[in-house]
Chains A and B, each alone.
Chain A
Amino acid sequence: MSVVLNEPGFLVDPEPVRSRGGFVWQTIRRRPSATIGIVLLSLVIVGALLAPWVAPYGLHTRVGPVFGHPSWSHPLGLDDGGIDMLTLLMWGARISLVVGFAATLVSMLIGGTIGVLAGYFGGKTDVVLMRITDYFLVIPDVPLMIVVAAIWGPSLFHIVIVIGILLWTSTARVIRAQVKSVRERVYVKRARSLGAGHTRIVLRHVLPQVAPLLIANTVLTIAVAIFDETALSFLGLGDPSRISLGKVIENAFQRAAISSGAWWAIVPPGALVAVIILSCSLVGGALEDALNPRLRVAHLSARTFRLRPLVGRGAESL
């Protein structure tokens, strides 16, 4: 909760923002792993976006028997409703990505705001906001997600909100530390002494400096959000009217796919989730490395690997 092993706030070089962006891009290009991540992620996103046009069958169309075997016309077989698995994967990735992005947006908004406020104003504001952050850090998140999703009903909207609400703590801490260091920079101090308002300073001077790290953090949060959605769906708390990848796994598991020998209904959706999480980690990790000079030596830094919900969060303390 409060162990800060190395505050990720030490942007030593007061480079102008624009060249920093170029630097980020260069770093990514130089790392093969980041390139792989971007390529994979793009493939998944394109497939998901094009689902309505290129998916071979209808999402609700029964095209054969329950758990039909893979064949030429259905390379990945059929699910427990006789629906084409390939079609389900494309549509499922769509919903999973939507949940990932939307929940991340929610957590970025909350975490970004709290981080900026706490870091910029410091003092009592900081203390109060950080105690709240502490609470969200220690609350057992998987059980809490279960409670909220079960009690308020498993709709996509609720799932996005609950994941978003549980994921913002890491963003808040990273941003807070960053803002603290930016605040002390010469040009910010100068702006303040020239009478610039808080809003203006935050918007004009602090945010642009913080933005790159926020982006890196975002990419990593997307991975966790998608993981969370998959887990919730598996526990029967997914939105039944929206087929996400997690829902595809759950449907098959619920109908005893393994005992029925229908491995094709379980293996591909999980593998696709793994690919998405993997590529987000690669991209996010590379970005963070690039932005953090001290870690440049260690590509794939510790900070990158935030503990997942199964295991917990808290890696922001690293």
Chain B
Amino acid sequence: MRGADYVIKRTAFAVITVFVAVTINFALFRLAPGSAISNLSRVPHATQELREALKREFGLDKSKGAQYAIYLKQLAHGNLGVSFENQQPVSHNLWEALKNTLPMVLLGTVFAIVFGTLTGVIAAWRRGTALEGATVTTALGFYSMPTHWLGLMLVILFTGVLPTGGMANDFLINPSFWTHLKDVLSHMVLPSLTLGLVLYGEYTLIVRSAMLETLGEDYILTARAKGLKPWAIVRKHALRNAMLPIATLVALSLGYIVAGAILIETVFSWPGIGRAVYDAVLQRDYPMLQGAFLLLTISVVFFNLVADLLYFKLDPRITT
């Protein structure tokens, strides 16, 4: 029973947070100086009628309150509206951008989880050795580099070896499946690696300290006294317990990664969600911005909720 209460409470909080976010996002964009109308009506010989027509078309002639009501009503029907800029449904534009961002981000994240966990565990286990020193130094180094700068360094290093811009060589005419796969992957290497290395730094440090805490616990000492093999201790006891904070952290970070991919997308000319948001800002494309923020907010809230519930499942002692 207590479990169900907990789940309901958490979910309710998540829904409230999303609603607050929707409202604040709406206000944020409507208060901004610079309007979509002055942008869009700037065509040669634009007339006052055109500006009025555009205002009506976008519903900007109504009061802010009425605009908000209309927006909520649309949302309730699952309609994110129509982009001011290219007149296509916002959901369509968002999906176009998101489907480019996701594979690159996933590859980088998987890289970071696998190698971050590995080196984190090794560093904790080989505490006090030169190996730990090297691992921690490397991780801290990657953690400290500005993301876009790391990307640029990879560009400088790998120009001519790997593609440094775009998602694929779009000019391969009717490539075989393998050629196409090879091409796509080769374009994905550098952007994913940039993301992966930054995350790698973070994950290594986190896994290491989570492991260190666990390794200090009494039951580990007991296991050790019982003469269990070191690797068995790590695998059976320490890692399992350390997985708790690790899994939570990974879930938490996933929601933000997508939002933050814009720096990498800029460096590698990747046509993803970050660039879509950036363009929408310049165009004052409110429906697009609201849609993007809603999507990103929901994904963050969702992964937070997942983290909460995950944590609850793994450690039922938690009450709030």
Contact A253 B152 (CB under 8 A): yes
| Known interface pairs A143-B293, A295-B209; A3-B311 also in contact (CB < 8 Å) | yes
Are the C-beta atoms of B257 and A311 separated by less than 8 Å?
A: yes
Chain A residues closer than 8 Å to B308, beta-carbon distance: 1-3
Interface of B is mostly: helix
Contact with B along A112-141 (1 / 0, CB 8 A): 000000000000000000010011011111
A23 to chain B: closest CB distance in Å? 20
Interface size of B as a range = 35 or more
Query: Which single member of A152, A223, A246, A307 contacts B202 (CB below 8 Å)?
Result: A307
B252 contacts which chain A residues (CB < 8 A)?
A: 3, 307, 312, 314-315, 317
Query: Which of A4, A142, A273 makes the CB contact (< 8 A) with B262?
Result: A142
Within 8 Å by CB of A231, from B143, B148, B202, B249, lies B148
Q: Is B216 at the interface (CB under 8 A from chain A)?
A: yes
**Residue count of chain A within 8 Å CB distance of chain B:** 63
B207 to chain A minimum Cβ distance, whole angstroms, is 9
- CB-based contact A318/B296 at 8 Å: no
In the complex, B259 has a CB within 8 A of chain A = yes
Contact A266–B210 (Cβ < 8 Å): no
Contact across chains for A312 and B144 when beta carbons are under 8 A apart: no
B12-38, CB under 8 A of A: which get 1 and which 0?
010011001100110011001110000
A258–B160 Cα gap in the complex (Å)? Answer: 13
- Is A108 engaged at the interface, CB distance under 8 Å to the other chain? no
B61 on the A face (CB < 8 A): no
Contact of B145 among A253, A270, A295 (CB under 8 A): A270
Bound-state CA distance A278–B304 (Å) is: 28
Query: Given the complex of chains A and B, what is the CA–CA distance between A310 and B153 in angstroms?
Result: 17
Mask: chain A, 162-186; 1 = CB below 8 Å from B; 0 = not:
0000000000000000000000000
CB-contact partner of B210 in A142, A227, A302, under 8 A: A302
Kindly list chain B residues whose C-beta atoms are within 8 Å of the C-beta of A230: 146, 148-149
Interface string of B278-320 (1 = CB under 8 A from A): 1001100000010011001100110010011001000000001
Q: Is A211 an interface residue when CB atoms closer than 8 A count as contact?
A: no
Is A27 in the interface zone, CB < 8 Å from B? no
**Which residue from chain B places its CB closest to the CB of A294 in the assembled complex?**
B213
Q: Which of B205, B282, B296 is close to A305, meaning CB atoms less than 8 Å apart?
A: B205
The answer, among A141, A270, A277, A309, for a CB contact under 8 Å with B152, is A270
- Shortest distance in angstroms between A198's beta carbon and chain B's nearest beta carbon? 25
Interchain CB contact under 8 A, A310 and B198: yes
Contacting pair A274 B149 (CB below 8 A)? yes
Given pairs A142-B259, A144-B28, A295-B213, 14 additional interface contacts (CB within 8 A):
A2-B308, A3-B307, A5-B248, A143-B296, A150-B281, A230-B148, A235-B263, A294-B213, A305-B205, A308-B143, A310-B256, A310-B260, A312-B256, A317-B307
